[in-house]
Amino acid sequence: MLYILDQRLRAQNIPGDKARKDEWTEVDRKRVLNDIISTMFNRKFMEELFKPQELYSKKALRTVYERLAHASIMKLNQASMDKLYDLMTMAFKYQVLLCPRPKDVLLVTFNHLDTIKGFIQDSPTILQQVDETFRQLTEIYGGLSAGEFQLIRQTLLIFFQDLHIRVSMFLKDKVQNNNGRFVLPVSGPVPWGTEVPGLIRMFNNKGEEVKRIEFKHGGNYVPAPKEGSFELYGDRVLKLGTNMYSVNRPVETHMSGSSKNLASRTQESIAPNPLAKEELNFLARLMGGMEIKKPSGPEPGFRLNLFTTDEEEEQAALTRPEELSYEVINIQATQDQQRSEELARIMGEFEIMEQPRLSTSKGDDLLAMMDEL
């Protein structure tokens, strides 16, 4: 998310002295990134994230990210937020899928953290928060076995299953096919700990090698150069998870409606979720952990457009395929009074810069607030 926002804000940068009141400057960009990063790495929020828990539903995760993206003066229209989320999920799916060995998901995470530290090098307090997160990741995940990492990786892959949104940058770089599937190369270095395929060794009863045969594997692999570092600072070796915008490139997605998989998606939104209450509680605590900075005085909300023009953004909103529409969490406010009150309290702590609504009851208020998320 930060890579995309950073790139998009840079693309819309106007030099400070030339900028009009409603145009982005370098100072604004840094501020937005600082605000979002410090909200994300806030201690209470991280504490909630690190508690052992089930993976969130797609709706819940989308809700959290929408909240995070609005942690600063930056505002996104629905179409831009949709596009941002599409890009984020496809990029992350790519990174998890292409991980050479399961433990590399941790290296990917460290690559993300390294780049994030680059965004906020001028802010020692936030740097400290990120380093603390690093330490926690190492403590909790550093000692897991290969089998446990495989389970984590497969759980993540299941979450991203059947998502085939075509991203023009991936299509251009030939890492994604026209049908939305990622290219899995059969060449390059093997994962650390794996041998290059093609050799058969045979042993006798004493364990001595007695014969050696080669066979044609079909791929074109080379040995792994070295293992990536899991230290606070170090050469990660792996490129997955680094900033994909090394050059300025336009940020586009193509909406590829995967009609074949329509059935499975409809299934998800219709079937009542028996864990809904549990999840709502997690969400409430997570949101409660987010400390959104409130601006000191009246400030205009700057709008960021993920598309090239306003017209394009409007058009995207109108033509978004039904099966790709994201739903955000809707609470049945009337059903559980206590839960609603808890959420209302937390939501009340967030600054919401909308016009006051006409409401008939507290429940309606809450529902309306969640709908607006």
Partner 1 sequence: MYESNGYTMVYWHALDSGDASPGTFITGVLVLAIGTWSGRVLVFDIPAKGPNIVLSEELAGHQTPITDIATEPAQGQDCVADMVTADDSGLLCVWRSGPEFTLLTRIPGFGVPCPSVQLWQGIIAAGYGNGQVHLYEAATGNLHVQINAHARAICALDLAPEVGKLLSAGEDTFVHIWKLSRSPESGYIEVEHCHGECVSDTQLCGARFCDSSGSSFAVTGYDLAEIRRFSSV
Residues that bind partner 1 (CB under 8 A): 97, 100-102, 145-148, 150, 157, 161-162, 164, 177, 181-184, 186, 190-191, 193-205, 207, 210, 213, 215-219, 221, 260-261
In the complex, what is the shortest distance from the CB of residue 182 to partner 1, in angstroms, rounded to a whole number?
7
In the complex, what is the shortest distance from the CB of residue 55 to partner 1, in angstroms, rounded to a whole number?
16
| Residue 265 to residue 263: CA distance in whole angstroms | 5
In the complex, what is the shortest distance from the CB of residue 267 to partner 1, in angstroms, rounded to a whole number?
14
In the complex, what is the shortest distance from the CB of residue 100 to partner 1, in angstroms, rounded to a whole number?
7
In the complex, what is the shortest distance from the CB of residue 229 to partner 1, in angstroms, rounded to a whole number?
19
From the CB of residue 183, how many other CB atoms can be counted at a distance below 10 Å? Answer: 13
* 162 dihedral zone (left: phi>0; alpha: psi -120 to 50; beta): left
- Residue 70 or residue 164: which is nearer to partner 1 going by CB? 164
- Secondary structure string (H, E, C) spanning 127-183: HHHHHHHHHHHHHHHCCCCHHHHHHHHHHHHHHCCCCCCEEHHHHHCCCECCCCCEC
- Residue 17 or residue 214: which is nearer to partner 1 going by CB? 214
End-to-end distance of the chain based on CA atoms, in angstroms? 17
Best CA proximity match to 165, nearest among 326, 2, 330: 326
Contacts made by residues 319-323, CB under 8 angstroms, sequence distance 24+: 319/255, 320/79, 320/82, 320/255, 321/255, 321/257, 323/257, 323/258, 323/259, 323/261, 323/262, 323/265, 323/266
| Residue 38 to residue 107: CA distance in whole angstroms | 22
Dihedrals phi, psi of 210, to nearest 5 degrees: -110, -20
- Residue 230 or residue 350: which is nearer to partner 1 going by CB? 230
In the complex, what is the shortest distance from the CB of residue 196 to partner 1, in angstroms, rounded to a whole number?
7
| Residue 45 to residue 368: CA distance in whole angstroms | 24
- Residue 216 or residue 294: which is nearer to partner 1 going by CB? 216
In the complex, what is the shortest distance from the CB of residue 157 to partner 1, in angstroms, rounded to a whole number?
6
- Residue 182 or residue 282: which is nearer to partner 1 going by CB? 182
Strand pairing of 209-214 and 199-203? Answer: antiparallel
Best CA proximity match to 68, nearest among 268, 282, 241, 283: 283
- Residue 142 or residue 250: which is nearer to partner 1 going by CB? 142
In the complex, what is the shortest distance from the CB of residue 177 to partner 1, in angstroms, rounded to a whole number?
7
- Residue 43 or residue 254: which is nearer to partner 1 going by CB? 254
- Residue 55 or residue 199: which is nearer to partner 1 going by CB? 199
In the complex, what is the shortest distance from the CB of residue 245 to partner 1, in angstroms, rounded to a whole number?
25
- Residue 162 or residue 310: which is nearer to partner 1 going by CB? 162
Place of tokens 């897991």: 144
Best CA proximity match to 332, nearest among 366, 284, 309: 366
